[in-house]
A and B are shown apart, each in its own frame.
Chain A
Amino acid sequence: MAMWSLAVKSLKNRAGSATLTVLTIAISVMLLLGVEQVRTEARTSFANTVSGTDLIVGARTGQTQLLLYSVFHIGHASNNVGWDSYRAIAAHPQVEWTIPLLLGDSHRGFRVLGTSADFFRHYRYARARALAFSAGQPFDDLFDVVIGAQVARELNYQIGQQVVVAHGMGSTSFSRHDDKPFRIVGILAPTGTPVDRTLMVSPEAIQAIHLDFQAGVQLPGQVVSAEDARQQDLTPTQLTAFMVGLKSRRSTFALQRAINNYRKEPLQAILPGVALAELWSLMRVAEQALLVVSAAVVFSGLAGLLTVLLSGLNARRREIAILRSLGARPWQLLALLTFEAALLTLLGSALGMALLYIAIVLGQPLFEQWVGLGLEVALPSTRQWIFLALVQGAGILTGLIPGWRAYRYSLADGICIRI
Chain B
Amino acid sequence: MSSSKIQPAIEPAIEIDGLGFAWRPGEDVLDIAELVVARGERLFVQGRSGSGKSTLLNLIGGIVLPTRGQVRLLGTPLQALGGAARDRFRADHLGVIFQLFNLLPYLSVLENVLLPCHFSAQRRQRVLARAPSLDAEAIRLLERLELPDPELWRRSVSQLSVGQQQRVAAARALMGGPEIIIADEPTSALDAQSRDAFIELLLQECALQGTTLLFVSHDAALASHFDRTLVLEVL
CB-CB < 8 A to A330: which residues of B?
A: 83
Q: Is A319 an interface residue (CB 8 A)?
A: yes
Cα distance A120–B63 in the bound complex, in angstroms: 82
Instruction: Select one of B64, B103, B105, B120 contacting A327, CB under 8 A.
Output: B120
Against B, the Cβ 8 Å flags (1 = close, 0 = not) of A303-333 are 0000000000000001101111111111000
CB-CB < 8 A to A2: which residues of B?
A: 118-119
Stretch of A5-13, A85-93, A363-371 with 4 or more beta carbons under 8 angstroms from chain B: A5-13
Q: Tell me whether A415 and B63 are in contact (CB under 8 A).
A: yes
Residue of A nearest to B94 (CB): A325
Cα distance A109–B103 in the bound complex, in angstroms: 73
Q: Is B91 an interface residue (CB 8 A)?
A: yes
CB-CB < 8 A to B177: which residues of A?
A: none
Q: Tell me whether A415 and B96 are in contact (CB under 8 A).
A: yes
Cα distance A2–B123 in the bound complex, in angstroms: 15
Stretch of B8-16, B53-61, B70-78, B145-153 with 4 or more beta carbons under 8 angstroms from chain A: B53-61
Instruction: Select one of A6, A12, A14, A417 contacting B98, CB under 8 A.
Output: A417
Q: Tell me whether B116 and A326 are in contact (CB under 8 A).
A: yes
Nearest-neighbour CB distance to chain B for A412, whole angstroms, equals 10
Nearest-neighbour CB distance to chain A for B201, whole angstroms, equals 20
Number of B residues contacting the other chain (C-beta, 8 Å)?
Answer: 31
* Of listed A321, A324, A325, residue having the most chain B CB within 10 A: A325
* Of listed B83, B102, B118, residue having the most chain A CB within 10 A: B118
Taking CB atoms and an 8 Å cut-off, the chain B residues in 100-135 that contact chain A are 100-107, 115-116, 118-120
Q: Tell me whether B54 and A416 are in contact (CB under 8 A).
A: yes
Q: Tell me whether A326 and B106 are in contact (CB under 8 A).
A: no
Q: Is B196 an interface residue (CB 8 A)?
A: no
CB-CB < 8 A to B79: which residues of A?
A: none
Taking CB atoms and an 8 Å cut-off, the chain A residues in 1-55 that contact chain B are 2, 6, 9-10, 12-14
CB-CB < 8 A to A374: which residues of B?
A: none
CB-CB < 8 A to A323: which residues of B?
A: 104
Q: Tell me whether A415 and B104 are in contact (CB under 8 A).
A: no
Contact A329:B84 (CB < 8 A) given known A2-B118, A9-B107, A322-B104 = yes
Cα distance A414–B64 in the bound complex, in angstroms: 8
Cα distance A10–B104 in the bound complex, in angstroms: 9
Nearest-neighbour CB distance to chain B for A42, whole angstroms, equals 47
Nearest-neighbour CB distance to chain B for A334, whole angstroms, equals 14
Instruction: Select one of A9, A328, A416, A419 contacting B87, CB under 8 A.
Output: A328
Contact A13:B106 (CB < 8 A) given known A327-B90, A416-B54, A416-B57 = yes
Taking CB atoms and an 8 Å cut-off, the chain A residues in 323-357 that contact chain B are 323-330
Q: Tell me whether B61 and A414 are in contact (CB under 8 A).
A: yes
Q: Tell me whether B98 and A10 are in contact (CB under 8 A).
A: no
Q: Is B137 an interface residue (CB 8 A)?
A: no
Q: Is the interface of B mostly helix, strand, loop or mixed?
A: mixed
Q: Tell me whether A327 and B88 are in contact (CB under 8 A).
A: yes
Cα distance A13–B64 in the bound complex, in angstroms: 32
Cα distance A10–B84 in the bound complex, in angstroms: 25
Cα distance A417–B189 in the bound complex, in angstroms: 14
Contact A419:B58 (CB < 8 A) given known A327-B91, A327-B92, A327-B120 = no
CB-CB < 8 A to B84: which residues of A?
A: 329
Q: Is the interface of A mostly helix, strand, loop or mixed?
A: helix
Q: Tell me whether B106 and A325 are in contact (CB under 8 A).
A: no
Nearest-neighbour CB distance to chain B for A320, whole angstroms, equals 11
Q: Tell me whether B63 and A12 are in contact (CB under 8 A).
A: no
CB-CB < 8 A to A12: which residues of B?
A: 106
Cα distance A310–B120 in the bound complex, in angstroms: 29
Cα distance A14–B101 in the bound complex, in angstroms: 17
Against B, the Cβ 8 Å flags (1 = close, 0 = not) of A390-419 are 000000000000000000000100111101
CB-CB < 8 A to B88: which residues of A?
A: 327
Cα distance A13–B156 in the bound complex, in angstroms: 10
Nearest-neighbour CB distance to chain B for A40, whole angstroms, equals 43
Q: Tell me whether A322 and B116 are in contact (CB under 8 A).
A: no
CB-CB < 8 A to A321: which residues of B?
A: 98
Q: Is B99 an interface residue (CB 8 A)?
A: yes
Residue of B nearest to A417 (CB): B98
Cα distance A15–B92 in the bound complex, in angstroms: 33
Cα distance A74–B96 in the bound complex, in angstroms: 79
Cα distance A328–B118 in the bound complex, in angstroms: 10
Nearest-neighbour CB distance to chain A for B54, whole angstroms, equals 4
Q: Tell me whether A9 and B96 are in contact (CB under 8 A).
A: no
Q: Tell me whether A322 and B98 are in contact (CB under 8 A).
A: yes
Nearest-neighbour CB distance to chain A for B8, whole angstroms, equals 21
Instruction: Select one of B57, B101, B115 contacting A326, CB under 8 A.
Output: B115
Q: Tell me whether B107 and A419 are in contact (CB under 8 A).
A: no
Q: Tell me whether A415 and B57 are in contact (CB under 8 A).
A: yes
Q: Tell me whether B99 and A13 are in contact (CB under 8 A).
A: no
Instruction: Select one of B61, B96, B99, B105 contacting A419, CB under 8 A.
Output: B99
Q: Is B184 an interface residue (CB 8 A)?
A: yes
Q: Tell me whether B58 and A415 are in contact (CB under 8 A).
A: yes
Taking CB atoms and an 8 Å cut-off, the chain A residues in 242-301 that contact chain B are none
Taking CB atoms and an 8 Å cut-off, the chain B residues in 36-82 that contact chain A are 54, 57-58, 61, 63-64
Q: Tell me whether A328 and B119 are in contact (CB under 8 A).
A: yes
Cα distance A12–B98 in the bound complex, in angstroms: 25
* Of listed A14, A329, A414, A415, residue having the most chain B CB within 10 A: A415
Nearest-neighbour CB distance to chain B for A218, whole angstroms, equals 84
Cα distance A328–B102 in the bound complex, in angstroms: 15
Q: Tell me whether B116 and A419 are in contact (CB under 8 A).
A: no
Chain A residues with a Cβ under 8 A of chain B: 2, 6, 9-10, 12-14, 318-319, 321-330, 411, 414-417, 419
A-B contacts, 11 of them at CB < 8 A, read A6-B104, A319-B104, A322-B98, A322-B102, A325-B90, A325-B96, A329-B87, A411-B63, A414-B58, A415-B57, A417-B99
Other A-B contacts than A326-B118, A417-B100, 14 sampled, CB-CB below 8 A, are: A6-B107, A10-B106, A325-B94, A326-B91, A327-B116, A327-B120, A329-B83, A329-B87, A414-B54, A414-B63, A415-B58, A416-B58, A416-B184, A419-B101
Chain A to chain B: the 3 pairs with minimum beta-carbon distance, closest first: A327-B91, A13-B106, A414-B63
